[in-house]
Amino acid sequence: MTYQYHDESIVKTLPEDTVFVFGSNLAGKHHGGAAATALAHFGALLGVGRGWSGQSFAIPTMNEHLQQMPLSQIQHYVDDFKIYTKNHPKNKYFLTAVGCGIAGYTVEEIAPMFKGISRNVIFPASFRPFVEKALPKLSQHFLQIMFRDEIIFSDNSDALIDVLALSENEKSLARIILHTQIYPTDSNGRDRVFEIADILHNLNGKVFDFDRKTEAPMLFGGVILALLELYGINEQDFADVWHGKREIAPPKAAHKAKRG
């Protein structure tokens, strides 16, 4: 199933038929992250930590004591949301990365809960590999086609990807990592420069020879960081695949990143 996606920028307005969906706590204290945006701009009500209010919909990920809920309980509230979207098909639903901020869960843990939901949901881009097409195994063939200057620095990467000797799932993976905002900050505004510099240091001479005098290696490293985080792997894993020592299976819902 193909969904719509948004780039996870902060929004303050949406069309009248589009509901802002955010992660909440059962106490209805909307003081941070997307919940604060919902309170300020989309009609969320203090004290209402579950369901519809104004132009917003709350999915609890923390309890009334502001403690992280078990994933099984969050799934219950996500299932309620699935039913709501099905019963209100004239609306669209702008889903934020619920549970992936203050609640402390990863995208890999939360996103698969939404698989099979109605097509009127607009997902955060980071959820895409977990609700749509299955990711492929990470192979030497993919890396050595993908990580070329003409692809990494292309102004029209989508058109270029279309003609690459890759499977459809590999092309989907290529688009995901090229369109993931990482350098110099990610979609949450976090500075990633030092992490990227660390990746370049760890891979320099082992996989690539980087010229540190230009900005180009940092852009290149940003794409590598996006791939490492998507698959939950580290630089040594990347190097092993690059040299054909092994392939790496796609991430699963409970898989967590192990960079370092």
Domain boundaries, the chain: 4-131, 140-242
- d(CA 166, CA 149) in angstroms, rounded, equals 17
Q: Which residues 6+ apart lie within 8 Å of 129 measured at CB?
A: 135, 172, 173, 176, 230, 250, 251
Residue 213's pLDDT is what?
Answer: 64
User: Where does residue 81 fall: left (phi above 0), alpha (psi -120 to 50 degrees), or beta otherwise?
Assistant: alpha
Residue 28's pLDDT is what?
Answer: 97
Reported pTM:
0.58
Phi, psi values for residue 105, rounded to 5°: -90, 165
Any alpha helices (H) in 50-167, and if so which ranges? 71-87, 107-110, 128-131, 140-146, 149-152, 157-162
- d(CA 61, CA 127) in angstroms, rounded, equals 17
| Angle (nearest 5°) at CA 193 between 195 and 235 | 30
Q: Which residues 6+ apart lie within 8 Å of 203 measured at CB?
A: 210, 224, 235, 238, 239
Residue 80's pLDDT is what?
Answer: 95
Residue 212's pLDDT is what?
Answer: 62
CB 49 within 8 A of CB 25: yes
Residue 258's pLDDT is what?
Answer: 39
Residue 30's pLDDT is what?
Answer: 96
Beta strands at 56-62 and 51-53: parallel, antiparallel or unpaired = antiparallel
Order of strands across the sheet with 4-6?
Answer: 4-6, 121-124, 92-95, 18-25, 56-62, 51-53
- CATH code, residues 4-131: 3.40.220.10
Residue 255's pLDDT is what?
Answer: 37
Cα–Cα distances in angstroms (integers) from residue 117 to residues 113, 134, 181, 233, 253, in the given order: 9, 16, 25, 29, 17
Residue 259's pLDDT is what?
Answer: 40
pLDDT in tens, the chain (260 residues): 568 899 899 899 999 999 999 999 999 999 999 999 999 999 999 999 999 999 999 999 999 999 999 988 999 999 999 999 999 999 999 999 999 999 988 887 899 899 889 999 999 988 887 887 677 899 999 999 999 888 988 888 878 888 899 988 888 888 878 877 788 887 556 799 999 999 999 998 888 887 666 778 999 999 999 899 888 899 999 999 999 999 999 876 433 333 43
- d(CA 99, CA 84) in angstroms, rounded, equals 19
In sequence order, what E strands does the chain have? 4-6, 18-25, 51-53, 56-62, 92-95, 121-124
